[in-house]
């Protein structure tokens, strides 16, 4: 039975069927042409970009350049339609960052135009991981490459960091993750795990 499913799936893809499993891929190919026009690629200066309700595709190195310009920041790798305990609406995340004096960067893991525009109300645009930069359409591939660019050596010491949603930085140095924005953190701490 397992082999039959694999053969049928391979045949569908070989015939050019544009099947896409939600959550497994970037979702970019599911956007309409009008929605794709609202996605900006290869944007040079993202650090102080105002929110003009465009979706800005970025890579980890670009974000790290922005983090270097601020003392304390939090990156939220947002997954639209996530039902997990750690997943929160963006307004909750924004309020948490403001209470803790953290500059917030929201980076969507996948393209979901309706969700992104519905939540795109902050002073910065909603960013999305640039799957084209990482030459991958599978979310698991480009997401790991983004995390590696962003957190550097820390990721080689703790592979669980690939799956972190909330990351705290001091300048461009990764400090730690937090399980949810509903727990207090000390943004002054610069040691991992403290």
Q: What letter does residue 114 receive in the DSSP assignment?
A: H
Domains in the chain: boundaries: 2-178
Q: Give me the pLDDT at residue 189, please.
A: 45
Note if the pTM is more than 0.85.
no
Q: Give me the pLDDT at residue 126, please.
A: 86
Cβ contact 127:52 at 8 Å: no
Per residue in 54-89, pLDDT (tens digit) is 999 999 999 999 999 999 999 999 998 888 888 888
Site of tokens 């003392």: 71
DSSP secondary structure of 39-108: EE-S-S--TT----S-EEEE-HHHHHHHHTTSSEEEEEEE-TT--STT---HHHHHHHHHHTT-EEEEEE
Per residue in 90-139, pLDDT (tens digit) is 888 999 999 999 999 999 999 999 988 888 888 888 899 999 999 999 99
155 versus 41: the higher-pLDDT residue is: 41
pLDDT band at 191 (very low <50, low <70, confident <90, very high): very low
Cβ contact 121:91 at 8 Å: yes
């Amino acid at each position: 039975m397992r082999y039959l499913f694999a053969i049928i799936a391979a045949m569908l893809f070989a015939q050019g069927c544009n099947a896409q499993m939600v959550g497994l891929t970037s979702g970019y190919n599911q956007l309409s042409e009008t929605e794709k026009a609202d996605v900006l690629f290869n944007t040079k200066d993202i650090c102080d970009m105002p929110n003009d309700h465009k979706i800005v595709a970025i890579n980890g190195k670009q974000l790290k350049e922005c983090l270097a310009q601020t003392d304390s920041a939090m990156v939220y790798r947002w997954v639209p339609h996530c039902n997990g305990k750690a997943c929160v609406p963006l307004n909750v995340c924004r309020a948490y960052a403001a209470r803790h004096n953290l500059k917030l960067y929201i980076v969507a893991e996948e393209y979901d135009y309706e969700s992104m525009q519905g939540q795109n109300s902050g002073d910065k645009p909603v960013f999305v991981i640039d799957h084209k930069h990482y030459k991958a359409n599978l979310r698991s591939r480009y997401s790991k490459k983004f995390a590696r660019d962003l957190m550097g050596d820390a990721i080689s010491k703790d592979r669980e960091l690939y799956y972190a949603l909330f990351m705290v930085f001091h300048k461009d140095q990764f400090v730690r993750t937090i399980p949810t924005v509903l727990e207090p953190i000390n943004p002054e701490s610069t040691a991992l795990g403290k």
